[in-house]
């Protein structure tokens, strides 16, 4: 394989555009094709980025110049698009959430193993410099044994009011899944077990339909999770809070950390971070291309992120059953 990975995008929407911008910022990857079922969108992307335009997935996958694809379609399409691409002999970077069902996650992993091609999930927060610093500090025993992690993410995510630039399918359970869990929780539940390299073993969660904005699905959740290493993490989320928040506190036996955005405090003193969270997508795209070019398995592999999706399923089931749920119920 050459030193530059040739890729195509499946989808040309907002997140695909973020991928395309990041591709342009890296020297080990190049965009050679863009596919969208809306011909005008595919053609516009092709003209802007000097690449081929496709309106049919099979045509894109039959292009011998496309070595890998970035699947940037609505959530419910991830499974079939990823499996088709892997079976066609393409490496795949699929946007989060990995899929809406664990069955689809397993099908994706099996297709990757059978084809020998890379499957990476777009858990971009694993590439944020501040999160990499936190993970290293925990591994280096800087704050000792982690006992408690408290994380929250609140926003007002309105996809249906006039003037909203977000697609309305986020409100559709069959296409987007529960928005607060799959649209945002796929980042938040992922980062907690990743920090400690310690899987979640059990979950107790409660959710509520707090407003009319997400009628028919819960818009806010709080989950308490027990990790294999004995730590407890608490995640509170909402997509109907007019005042936003995105922060966390990590309490260890020898010290504590507080993080908000790019800012990290260790025992009350700010830690210098090399880089910005805004570089996360560019770093993620570089990592994907490098994995494909040299045959290295990505950190956010299908198997790693499958655990995240199992935790989300456990959260959903716990809230519905009103009881503690073991993650092992959903396989490994």
pLDDT (tens digit, 9 = 90+) per residue, 59-97?
999 999 999 999 999 999 999 999 999 999 999 999 999
Check pLDDT > 90 for residue 147: yes
All structural domains of the chain, each given as residue ranges with its CATH number in brackets, are 5-124+282-300 (3.40.50.720), 126-276+308-330 (3.30.360.10)
| Residue 14: C-alpha distances to residues 9, 73, 74, 165 (Å) | 12, 10, 11, 9
Tell me the pLDDT band of 332, cut-offs 50, 70 and 90.
confident
196-224: per-residue pLDDT in tens?
999 999 999 999 999 999 999 999 999 99
Rounded mean pLDDT of 35-52?
A: 96
The token pair that represents 263 in the structure block: 């800012």
pLDDT > 70 in the chain, percent: 100
Cα 188 versus chain centre, distance: 9
Beta-carbon contacts of residue 294 (< 8 Å; ≥ 6 apart): none
Could you tell me the pTM of the whole model?
A: 0.96
DSSP 278: G
**Cβ–Cβ contacts within 10 Å for residue 243, how many?**
7
Query: How open is the CA angle 170-304-291, to the nearest 5 degrees?
Result: 100
Q: In what order do the strands lie in the sheet with 146-156?
A: 269-271, 263-266, 256-260, 240-252, 146-156, 232-238, 220-227, 200-208, 325-326
- Please name the residues in contact with 131: beta carbons below 8 A apart, sequence gap of 6 or more: 125, 191, 195
Q: Which pLDDT band holds residue 280 (cuts at 50, 70, 90)?
A: very high
Q: Hey, what are 198's tokens?
A: 């310690």
pLDDT confidence bin for 165, thresholds 50/70/90: confident
pLDDT value, residue 161: 87
User: In this model, does residue 2 exceed pLDDT 80?
Assistant: no
* 264: three-class secondary structure by DSSP: strand
Question: Tokens 């992120």, residue?
Answer: 305
The predicted structure's pLDDT at residue 124: 98
- 202 contacts 326 by C-beta, under 8 angstroms: yes
Please state, in angstroms and rounded to a whole number, the distance separating the CA atoms of residues 92 and 107. Answer: 14
pLDDT of residue 164: 87
**Where residue 20 falls among pLDDT bands split at 50, 70, 90?**
very high
Asked whether residue 1 carries a pLDDT value surpassing 60, the answer given is no
DSSP H/E element including 288:
helix 280-294
The full DSSP string for 58-97 is: HHHHT-TT--EEEE-S-GGGHHHHHHHHHHTT-EEEEESS
CA 326/CA 199 separation, integer angstroms: 12
Which residues lie across from 139 on neighbouring strands? none
Per-residue confidence (pLDDT) for residue 170, from 0 to 100: 92
Least Cα distance to 229 among 265, 197, 270, 206 occurs for 197
Q: Look at residue 214 in the predicted model and tell me its pLDDT.
A: 93
> Rounded mean pLDDT of 163-184?
93
């Amino acid at each position: 394989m050459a030193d530059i990975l040739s890729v195509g995008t499946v989808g040309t929407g907002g997140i695909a555009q973020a991928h395309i911008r990041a591709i342009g910022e890296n020297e080990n990857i190049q965009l050679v094709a863009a596919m969208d079922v809306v011909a005008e969108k595919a053609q516009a992307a092709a003209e802007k980025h000097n690449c081929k335009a496709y309106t049919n997935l099979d045509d894109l996958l039959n292009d011998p110049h496309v070595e890998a694809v970035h699947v940037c379609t609505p959530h419910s399409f991830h499974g079939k698009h990823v499996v088709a691409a892997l079976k066609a002999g393409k490496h795949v970077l699929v946007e989060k959430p990995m899929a809406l069902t664990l069955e689809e996650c397993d099908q994706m992993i099996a297709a990757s193993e059978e084809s020998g091609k890379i499957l990476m999930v777009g858990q971009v927060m694993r590439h944020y410099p501040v999160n990499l610093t936190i993970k290293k500090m925990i591994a280096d025993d800087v704050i000792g044994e982690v006992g408690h992690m408290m994380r929250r993410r609140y926003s007002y995510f309105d996809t249906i009011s006039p003037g909203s630039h977000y697609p309305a399918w986020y409100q559709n359970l069959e296409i987007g899944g529960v928005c607060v869990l799959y649209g945002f929780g796929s980042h938040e539940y992922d980062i907690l077990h990743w920090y400690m390299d310690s899987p979640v073993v059990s979950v107790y969660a409660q959710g509520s339909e707090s407003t009319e904005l997400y009628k028919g699905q819960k818009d806010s959740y709080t989950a308490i999770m027990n990790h294999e290493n004995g730590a407890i993490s608490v995640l509170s989320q909402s997509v109907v809070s007019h005042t936003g928040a995105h922060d966390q506190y990590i309490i260890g036996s020898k010290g504590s950390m507080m993080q908000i955005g790019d800012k990290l405090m260790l025992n009350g003193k700010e830690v210098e971070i090399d880089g910005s969270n805004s570089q996360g997508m560019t770093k993620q795209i570089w990592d994907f291309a490098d994995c494909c070019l040299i045959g290295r398995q990505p950190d956010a592999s299908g198997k790693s992120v499958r655990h995240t999706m199992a935790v989300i399923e456990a959260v959903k089931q716990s809230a519905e059953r009103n009881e503690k749920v073991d993650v092992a119920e959903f396989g490994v």
